[in-house]
Structure 1
Amino acid sequence: MNRNTFNPFRRLHFYAAWFITPLLLTLTLSGIGFLFYPEVENMIYEHEFFGQSDNKERQSMDEAIEEIKDTYNGYSVSKISMIEEPYNNRVTISNDQGTSQYVFLDENNQIVASLDSKNTYSNFMRTFHSSLLTEHTFVRYLVELTACWAIFLIVSGTYMTFRKKLFQSQSRKLRFQNIHAALGLVVAVPLIIIVLTGIPWSVFTGSKIGQFAADHPDWGRTELRYNPPQSDVDEIPWATRSLDQPASEHKGHAGHHTDSSSHDTIDGQKTIEDIITESGEKHISRPFSIVYPSDEKGVFTVSKGSNTGVTGLDVNPDEETTAYFDQYSGDLIAQIDFEDYGIIGKWFTWGIPLHEGHLFGMANKILNLLVCIAFLAAIAMGFMSWMKRMKPGEAKGPKRINKPWSIGALATLAILGILMPLFGLSVLVIFVVEAVIYFTKKRKEA
């Protein structure tokens, strides 16, 4: 029986580790940085988040909106985040050049300060983690591929650890290898969970999951066919970000609204104070976001999300809700709660905050941090193990045994390839290269 499983796994494990380690280090370190973004932002944006304006006169939210538009010429208001005390409320404004800012309002709805949204700590770390600050699709493919191969490293490393019976050896030469293996086993399960719960952001697999969820409403209640979930999308719950929003009842307002592209200048539109009041009557409590209608047929979208990426705005997954209000009458048209999600929507609604480290408070952050540190240590020990086995001036990898791969090795790669299509495509390339090498050597031996 052909048992050539160890050698393919060993070589794939070795070369994959060398190729993806730079990205793995980057993803792990940026992930650690993102874990504590609320705590970091609370310190560096203390004035914006908690400060007060010198103007102590109370004004309504709608008056504040008008002041913001006067103060920030060329900007329109697209979103308002009503956050629980002691945080200041946040108003998102944008212009035609694609620049957006956060404007902070104190308890009197007076302007405190503003920040360039792209350069806030949380958004910077999110972009760093997902695309290495490039925002290019190709880089996001590389990031996803790295995550997929990290799972293979865990699977192959676990197999080799028990196949070599490493822990039965007391040799000092294998000390670093034993530590590398032990750390790998310790972080195996939590690391796989962290990787899998990051899949909603992936550009390839995430879009496929979104498409499946959209095509099977009972599973997902989502329509993410063209918009896979990412950590820099509006603060709308993952499961409803791309739902077809219901349209407001159109009562002859066409032709009367302004020609401006602003979301907040449509004639006959309800005021923000009205929408806040309506939300309260529907038992939607802070924190929540209000997104302006996109056009005269659009609706006000009020949402509570568990994965907003905004300090002070996240809620528990089972508190998620997305409500749509007619922009002219203020009537509630539709509301989707966590209970309405399918199994895919619910899984990722819980999974994303687990990945981000705030599902169960500080304990979640500390657990994720320990997993990341152990993973970094495992990488270091693996490198030290290889260095200890090399002679001075020598640098080589595992030798190739020119035998067909075992059924077990092929089956493992096939299963992982089906579960992670991008990984599967990369394995097909490797398999073609391996086949060419195998038959070339066979021809020479003959």
Structure 2
Amino acid sequence: MNNNTFNPFRRLHFYAAWFITPLLITLTLSGTGFLFYPEVESYLYEKEFFGMSETKETQSMDEAIKEISAKYEGYSIGKISMMEEPYNSRVTISNENGDSRTIFLDDSNQIVSSQDPSNTYSYFMRNFHSSLLTESTFMRYLVELTACWTVFLIISGIYMTFKKKLLANKNKSKSLKFQKAHAILGIALAIPLMVIVITGIPWSVFMGSQIAKFGQEHPEIGRTELRYTPPQSDVDEIPWATRSLNQPASDDKTEANNNLNNPGQQSLESVIAKAQDEKISRPFSIVYPADEKGVFTVSKGSNTGVPGLDVSPYEETTAYFDQYSGNVIAKINFEDYGIIGKWFTWGIPLHEGHLFGMPNKILNLVVCIAFLGAITMGFLSWMRRMKQGESKTPRRVNKQWSLVAILALLILGIIMPLFGISILIIFVIETIVYYSSKNKRISSELSK
């Protein structure tokens, strides 16, 4: 029986590490930068988040909305985020060109300042982390492929550590010391790093969309009617698990000119009061009806991407109010989510580092630093072997891959389709090289 498992795993581990390390370092550094975006933005945008207007007179939220509409002509009101003290409330507006602004209101509902959300620290770091500032779909695929190969690096690294009995080796050479350090860090990081990778799946362009589609097609698992489009780190504040629900429609068929002047529409103050009657406390967001059949959507989310707006996953709720009567049409809580919705609701804030406060951030930070250390130890181990005159790259054992190696890669390829496609390409190349070398060897032996 062919037992060529170690060699292909070793070579795949080596070449994959070299191929994805630059992007891995970039993702780790940008992810580390994003961990503390609430603290950074609270410092950078202190006036916007916590400042007071020079106007001391108190006005209603409806009056504030009318003032914003008059001041920002050509913009429509998208949503209102009712914040908890000490944060200022936010009003998000946008125009037909796709430009948007965030207007900050103090506790008197007076305008404090405005901000272009695309120029904020969190937007920069999120875009840097997901697509290296390119907003390119191809780059997002490459980021997902890197995450897939990271899973393989973890698994293959653990396998080789125990296969080589590296931890029990008494050799005191500097090369082996770095290799041991690389292996020990890899084993220690295996579970937390795997968790971080898996909880990043909701943003992935391929796997995320497939999981979302599966959840929509299997209500007993999803129950959130997830759409085909996966979640992104830069969408609105509606909880991800209900963001793509088919919203219920209001009963009244009255035609509307826009979301502010719809005849018979409830006032914003009325909707806020209705939300409080439903035990929806601040912070929460209100999204205006999209048309005359739409509803007011009031939500609390655990993955808003807005400092001061996140809540515990257990507190997530989304309520739909008839825009004419103000009656609650439907209300969905965390308990109503399926396993996929609950997984994402927990996973996203865990990945971003705010599921359980500062300890979550510190834990993620330690994992990121240790991961960079593991990468460094692996590189130094390779450099030491070069100095000793040994092979710079793992030598290819010209044997067919073992059944164990093939099955392991096949399983990973099914779970992670992009990884499977890349492995298929590698396997074809390996097969060509194997038979080409074999034929050359046979030809050489015949010519003797």
Residue 394 of structure 1 and its aligned partner are, at CA, apart by 9.1
AA of the residue aligned to 1:149: W
Distance 1:194 1:157 in 2: 18
What CA distance in whole angstroms lies between the structure 1 residues aligned with 2:368 and 2:202? 20
Which 5+ residue runs of structure 2 have no aligned equivalent? 443-448
Name the SS for the 2:66 alignment partner.
helix
Question: 8 Å contact 1:34–1:126 — kept in the other structure?
Answer: yes
- The AA in structure 1 aligned to 2:290 is S
Q: Give distance in 1, aligned partners of 2:267 and 2:128.
A: 37
3-state SS of paired residue (1:349) = helix
- Match for residue 417 of structure 1? 413
CA positional deviation for 1:419: 1.2
Within 2, Cα distance between the matches of 1:120 and 1:395? 48
- Contact 2:5–2:401 (CA<8 Å) still a contact in 1? yes
- Structure 2 CA distance for partners of 1:441 and 1:20, relative to 1, 3 Å: same
CA shift at 1:192, angstroms?
0.2
- 1:346 matches 2:364: no
Q: 1:426: how far off? A: 1.0
Question: What residue is the counterpart of 1:171 in the other structure?
Answer: 172
Tell me which residue corresponds to 1:329: 325
Match in the other structure for 1:212: 214
Report 1:43-62 matches (<5 A). Answer: 43-62=43-62
Q: Determine if contact 2:382/2:392 at 8 Å carries over to the other structure.
A: no
Q: Does 1:288 align with 2:284?
A: yes
Q: Which amino acid aligns with 1:333?
A: I
Alignment correspondent of 1:235 = 237
The AA in structure 2 aligned to 1:72 is Y
- 1:268 CA displacement: 2.5
Instruction: Report if the CA contact (8 A) 2:77-2:94 is conserved.
Output: yes
CA distance in 1, matches of 2:292, 2:150: 47
Task: Give the letter aligned to residue 193 of structure 1.
Answer: V
- Report the equivalent of 2:313: 317
Report if the CA contact (8 A) 2:124-2:133 is conserved: yes
What is the SS of the residue equivalent to 1:219?
coil
Question: Distance between the aligned counterparts of 1:393 and 1:48, measured in 2?
Answer: 60
SS for the counterpart of 1:220 is coil
> CA separation in 2, counterparts of 1:395 and 1:23?
26
> Residue 385 of structure 2 contacts residue 391 of structure 2 at CA under 8 Å; is this kept in 1?
no
**Which residue does the alignment assign to 1:95?**
95
Distance across 1 between alignment mates of 2:4 and 2:366: 35
- Partners of 1:134 and 1:250 in 2: CA distance: 44
Q: Tell me how far apart the structure 2 counterparts of residues 141 and 288 of structure 1 sit (CA, whole Å).
A: 33
8 Å CA contact 2:131, 2:143 repeated in 1: yes
Alignment gaps of 5+ in structure 1: none
Match of 2:446 in 1: none
How far has the Cα of 1:430 moved from its partner?
Answer: 0.8
Choose from 175, 187, 191 the match for 1:189.
191
Take 1:349 and 1:379, find their aligned partners in 2: how far apart are those partners?
31
**One-letter amino acid of the structure 2 residue matched with residue 403 of structure 1:** K
Distance 1:111 1:327, change over 3 A: same
**SS in structure 2 of the partner of residue 390 of structure 1:** helix
Letter in 2 for 1:41: E
Which structure 1 residue ranges, 4+ long, deviate > 3 Å from structure 2?
262-265, 391-396
C-alpha separation in 2, matches of 1:11 and 1:250: 66
Answer whether contact 1:357 1:365 (CA < 8 A) is retained.
yes
Instruction: Answer whether contact 1:221 1:240 (CA < 8 A) is retained.
Output: no
The change in CA–CA distance for 1:137 and 1:337 in structure 2 (over 3 A counts) is same
After TM superposition, the structure 1 = structure 2 runs for residues 137-286 of structure 1, keeping only pairs within 5 Å, are 137-169=137-169, 170-172=171-173, 173-251=175-253, 253-254=254-255, 257-258=256-257, 262-286=258-282
C-alpha distance 281-46 of structure 1, shift in aligned 2 (>3 A): same
Secondary structure of 2:250's aligned partner: coil
Deviation, structure 1 residue 124: 1.5
Moved more, 385-394 or 408-417: 385-394
**TM-score with structure 1 length normalisation?**
0.96
State yes or no: 1:85 paired with 2:81. no
**CA RMSD across the alignment:** 1.3
- Give the distance between the partners of 1:427 and 1:222, measured in 2 at CA: 33
User: Is the CA contact 1:17–1:153 (under 8 Å) kept in the aligned structure 2?
Assistant: yes
Is the contact between residue 221 and residue 239 of structure 1 (CA under 8 Å) also seen in structure 2?
no
TM-score by length of 2: 0.96
Task: Report the identity percentage.
Answer: 70
* TM-superposition CA deviations, 1:189-222 (whole Å, max 9, x none): 0000000011011010000000010001111112
Q: In 2, distance between residues paired with 1:394 and 1:62?
A: 74
State yes or no: 1:73 paired with 2:73.
yes
CA distance in 1, matches of 2:59, 2:217: 47
In the TM superposition, residue 292 of structure 1 has moved relative to its aligned partner by 0.9
Q: 2:294 aligns with which of 289, 293, 298?
A: 298
Q: Displacement of 1:395 after TM fit?
A: 8.0
Give the conservation status (yes or no) of the 8 Å contact 2:300–2:310: yes
Q: How far apart are the structure 2 equivalents of 1:92 and 1:393?
A: 62
**d(CA) in 2 for partners of 1:95, 1:189:** 45
Quick one: distance in 2 between partners of 1:50 and 1:429? Answer: 54
- The answer to whether the aligner puts 1:123 opposite 2:118 as a matched pair is no
Q: Give me the whole-angstrom Cα distance separating, in 1, the residues matched to 2:293 and 2:162.
A: 62
3-state DSSP of counterpart to 1:59: coil
Counterparts of 1:99 and 1:214, CA distance in 2: 31
